[in-house]
Structure 1
Amino acid sequence: MAGSIRTEIAVIGAGVIGLAVAERLLAEGREVTLVDPEDPGMGASYGNAGTIADYAVMPVGSPDVLKNLPALLFDRNSPLAIRRAALPALMPWLMRFARESLPAATARNAAAIAALLADACPSWLDLSERIGGGNIVQKRGCLYIYETKAAFRAAGADMDFRRSLGITVDLIGPEALRQMEPGLPGVEGGAAFFPKAVFLNDPGRMVSLLASHVTASARLIRARAVRLERRIDGVIVSGPDLNLHASKVVLAAGAHSRALAAQAGDRVPLDTERGYHVEWDMETPRLSRPSCPTSRGFYLCPMQGRLRVAGTVELGGLTAPPSPHRIAKLVEGARAIFPDLPEPSREWMGFRPSVPDSVPVIGPGRGGSDVIHAYGHGHIGLTLAPITARIIADLVMGRDPELDLAPYLPTRF
């Protein structure tokens, strides 16, 4: 690019977080330029389970996970697994993850996540109406399914802890579950029902509507940002075919944010969870709300015109090809629930930005307020997009954010 483009605010990353941030800043009357090499919203924002998971207060790391960590990571059939070739590079991250899985750290991290989640569902209802996606939001709650009586009994302590953080949840037995979801086969245990949760039956379409709404007013540059340089008069964002001079930068590049954060002065232990989904096209997708068989680590998601099975965690970086084994395990798990499923209609892999404490990175770093961080949301990026956007807008506008940002700042590492 021959000359530098000037903009008031550059948002690096056009996933659901970056798009939601741009939507709020545009509503505040700010000039916004989005930078992303891919189509807006077509990464993890497209391929997720569609749940607005206001109940998802538990970090990935916990004492139970820590106790079973070696078996989880090195069992290739585990819902939480690692590509062995990535192990040397991941060791520092894994050591931090182990520390954050201790009891006191788990409680602290859960409280920080719960504070962000408190207004998640109303915030999405408001955003969906603003962008014309109200019919995509389904108010039917969400289920955790326990396939054995022992698993159901063990869930009581977990649900009591969630209730202590403000989550509404009902434990229901097999008969109540059967009445709620007659298309599911019977289970011995029961379920946890989160009645306030909502879900998007087509998250890709919702994010596409958000992208159309934003790009009607914002500039979109299809390029990869690879360098950040702070100057007295702003921040230079550059890369192949990119030379952008911004007064402020919002770093919302998801799993691709670590190198840019380091150039801004913050060494954030960000790594990549590789998430998968498979889909079966069907007119009626067999159940009416997202349902997670907890022992299997995935969600059964009733999308518009298809059943999506999404989930599992594979730590493996940004460059390795998709794992056929992970896809096969999703298909196998789905057929354990619905044995008559044919071959899937399609499959997908995407990248989640993951930090060891599962707490998103939101706010200014060590270098000052000209670069604001907004990434690391892990499994709840879709859920937390509107609240993250409000926090970023408050910071840009010089207002006090609605939450104390200390637990979320990049300077905590």
Structure 2
Amino acid sequence: MTPTSPGHSGAKMTEHHTTDIAVLGAGSIGMAVALQLVQEGREVVIVDPGAPGMGASYGNAGTIADYAVQPVGTPDVLKNLPALLFDRNSPLAIRHAALPTLAPWLLRFARQSLPGAAARNAQAIAALVGSANARWRDFAAEIGGSALLQHRGCLYLYETAAAFRAAGRDMTARRTLGIEVELLRPEAFSAMEPGLPVVEGGAAYFPQATFLSDPGEMMRRLAARLTALGVPHLHHRAENLSRQFDGILVQGPGLRLHARQVVIAAGAHSRALAAQAGDRVPLDTERGYHVEWDMERPRLTRPTCPTTRGFYLCPMSGRLRVAGTVELGGLTAPPSPHRIARLVEGARAIFPDLGTPSRDWMGFRPSMPDSLPVISPSRAGNDVIHAYGHGHIGLTLAPITARIVADIAAGRQTDLDVAPYAVTRF
């Protein structure tokens, strides 16, 4: 990075910088991209007004979800969509005030939930996540986070016999996409997780899945590694992109940055930047929540999702995190006390003796109607590269996305066919 003398923009001092490549966003995707690029010898600057990794990259369930190959939109979801969206207690809900602006997104979501589209989307997700565990082992080792990576699998919990029977079709579909899964009767499930209540149905066990015992700590180690490698983090909000004859000009309050290439990795905040690069994307925002109870032993040994409740029970360092549900509602509304209360109520249905939560949190996920991220060069060329829209699997896909972006930036052939994730698909 080459800074120049600061100048005035109104009453505020403006920082002037030049760099080879600027990464807009300091979540797990942006930081992983920056790490991959600097390891290839690129001069990299990260631009983000917030603390690195402390948005959705911190607040998630911590799962490296290579088994999560089904898109959010499926024929079953489409059939029940009106009830799901307008039931305040549904795991998939909508803030009614946001409905007018969400309507175009919802129409696209409905089309992507039809059988043919949903099947194609599942195949595209499976192609992306297939190497997630192997990539994360290398990635964690690189940033000194191997001890935080837990290799104990993940469970889907079916509380009724009917739900367990219905799960068979879903698990068959996952197996066809290369996912290893075992269906466990109640006695086998209870032997595996004696701290959870006995259920009538059973569980699906994904033995290859891994998870992070502390996503926030993993993000801190990633940020520390970037600092050690000399990657600057400019704490500014990038609000404007414009193409110049010799690169891209990035501007925002107090910021003027010239870069030869730019990676948009700003998660739920990426849509306006993409439009300024000439690429319109149907990106909207899911508001995700978690609630935590501090405890020395968090009652279970691996992430467990009671499927009808739409959240994960997550054993983390010194605490139990309950994370999940989907609320479509934009970037500006305050957290919903009702959604937090539903998480607390659901957790107490599993563990009735839980007391008052130690803390709660709300953050933003970038959500695409087809559940596929946008990982591709701009329509106008690879001077702007898109890397956002990962929905529920951003943490999972961070090192994979980083490799793809580095290949695109260098003009190399990617290992994976990235056509399904191209910005030109819209």
**Shorter-normalised TM-score: what interval?**
over 0.9
Give the TM-score of the pair, scaled to structure 2: 0.96
What per-residue deviation string (whole Å, max 9, x for no partner) do you get for residues 128-169 of structure 1? 011111100000000000000000000001000000000000
Matched with 1:263 is 276
The unaligned stretches of length 5 or more in structure 1 are none
Q: How far has the Cα of 1:68 moved from its partner?
A: 0.3
Q: Map of 1:303-314 to 2, 5 A cutoff?
A: 303-314=316-327
Partners of 2:415 and 2:193 in 1: CA distance: 38
Partners of 1:163 and 1:348 in 2: CA distance: 34
1:221 is aligned with what amino acid? L
Match of 1:292 among 290, 293, 305: 305
Are 2:212 and 1:200 equivalent residues in the alignment?
yes
Are 2:43 and 1:23 equivalent residues in the alignment?
no
What per-residue deviation string (whole Å, max 9, x for no partner) do you get for residues 225-280 of structure 1? 00000112000000101100000000000000000000001110000000000000
Partners of 1:138 and 1:388 in 2: CA distance: 21
Partners of 1:212 and 1:246 in 2: CA distance: 23
Matched with 1:147 is 159
Partners of 1:147 and 1:376 in 2: CA distance: 32
Are 2:356 and 1:343 equivalent residues in the alignment?
yes
Matched with 1:73 is 85
Q: How far has the Cα of 1:64 moved from its partner?
A: 0.4
Q: How far has the Cα of 1:215 moved from its partner?
A: 2.3
Match of 1:399 among 388, 392, 412: 412
What per-residue deviation string (whole Å, max 9, x for no partner) do you get for residues 164-216 of structure 1? 00000000100000000000000000000000000001000001100111122
What secondary structure, in the 3-state scheme, does the structure 1 residue paired with 2:394 have? helix
Matched with 2:338 is 325
2:22 is aligned with what amino acid? A
Are 2:35 and 1:13 equivalent residues in the alignment?
no
Matched with 2:182 is 170
Are 2:184 and 1:184 equivalent residues in the alignment?
no
Are 2:234 and 1:221 equivalent residues in the alignment?
yes
Q: How far has the Cα of 1:367 moved from its partner?
A: 1.5
Q: Map of 1:345-364 to 2, 5 A cutoff?
A: 345-364=358-377
Are 2:121 and 1:83 equivalent residues in the alignment?
no
Match of 1:56 among 68, 85, 92: 68
Matched with 2:384 is 371
What secondary structure, in the 3-state scheme, does the structure 2 residue paired with 1:4 have? strand
1:352 is aligned with what amino acid? R
What secondary structure, in the 3-state scheme, does the structure 1 residue paired with 2:204 have? strand
1:392 is aligned with what amino acid? V
Match of 2:144 among 132, 156, 162: 132
1:117 is aligned with what amino acid? V
Query: Could you say what the CA RMSD is over the residues aligned between the two structures, in angstroms?
Result: 0.6
Partners of 2:170 and 2:148 in 1: CA distance: 30
Give the TM-score of the pair, scaled to structure 1: 0.99
What secondary structure, in the 3-state scheme, does the structure 1 residue paired with 2:297 have? coil
Are 2:126 and 1:114 equivalent residues in the alignment?
yes
Are 2:208 and 1:230 equivalent residues in the alignment?
no
* Identity level (%): 72
Are 2:168 and 1:156 equivalent residues in the alignment?
yes
2:250 is aligned with what amino acid? V
What per-residue deviation string (whole Å, max 9, x for no partner) do you get for residues 93-134 of structure 1? 000000000000000000000000000011111110111111
Q: How far has the Cα of 1:398 moved from its partner?
A: 2.0
Matched with 1:4 is 16
Q: How far has the Cα of 1:286 moved from its partner?
A: 0.1
- How many residues are matched? 413
Partners of 2:35 and 2:329 in 1: CA distance: 32
Partners of 2:329 and 2:339 in 1: CA distance: 12
1:95 is aligned with what amino acid? L
What per-residue deviation string (whole Å, max 9, x for no partner) do you get for residues 326-375 of structure 1? 00000000000000000000000000000100000001121111000000
Match of 2:255 among 218, 221, 242: 242
